[in-house]
Amino acid sequence: MDVILTLEGIGLISALRVDNEIEVSDEGADGFFNGSDLMILFESSNEQFNTFRYRSYPLSEVGKQLLPIVQEESNDDYLIDLGKLLREDLQEKVDVCVYRVISRNANDLELDFDVNLLDK
């Protein structure tokens, strides 16, 4: 929590948390992409429509303006750890997998579905 307060104090994030919602159905998948090599993918574990919620701290306007000058590096280990936590929390509702990105064309990603990195 100290980190959150520090980031809010220097004006990089808003201390007001935002409620986010992801809807998963058997008609498609959704997920988080780390901008580099991996994607956490959420798929329906049954034929029902499932929703889950999470909270985040949005960047402030200052944070958004500074983001392009920061040398941003993706952290694959962090994304895998996050995937494991989400898999445990959502096991009743949603299948959570982490796949390596084979190729990317704008917003279209091709994933290596042969290896779920959460199963290693």
Per-residue confidence (pLDDT) for residue 100, from 0 to 100: 92
Residue 12 near residue 62, CB atoms below 8 Å: yes
Report the domain count for the chain: 1
Per-residue confidence (pLDDT) for residue 72, from 0 to 100: 67
| Alpha-helical regions (H) of the chain | 2-9, 61-66, 76-90
Q: What is the mean pLDDT of the chain?
A: 82
Average pLDDT for residues 12-22, to the nearest whole number? 80
Between the CA of residue 21 and those of 1, 8, 42, what are the distances in Å?
23, 23, 12
Residue-wise pLDDT for 29-44, tens only, equals 778 787 778 888 888 7
Per-residue confidence (pLDDT) for residue 114, from 0 to 100: 93
Instruction: Reduce the DSSP state of residue 110 to 3 states and report it.
Output: strand
Instruction: Reduce the DSSP state of residue 92 to 3 states and report it.
Output: coil
Residue 115: pLDDT band (50, 70, 90) is very high
Sign of CA dihedral 23, 86, 38, 66: positive
Range of the domain at 71: 2-119
Residue-wise pLDDT for 29-83, tens only, equals 778 787 778 888 888 777 777 787 888 888 888 888 887 787 667 678 888 998 9
Residue 35 near residue 71, CB atoms below 8 Å: no
Residue-wise pLDDT for 80-109, tens only, equals 998 999 899 888 778 899 999 999 887 788
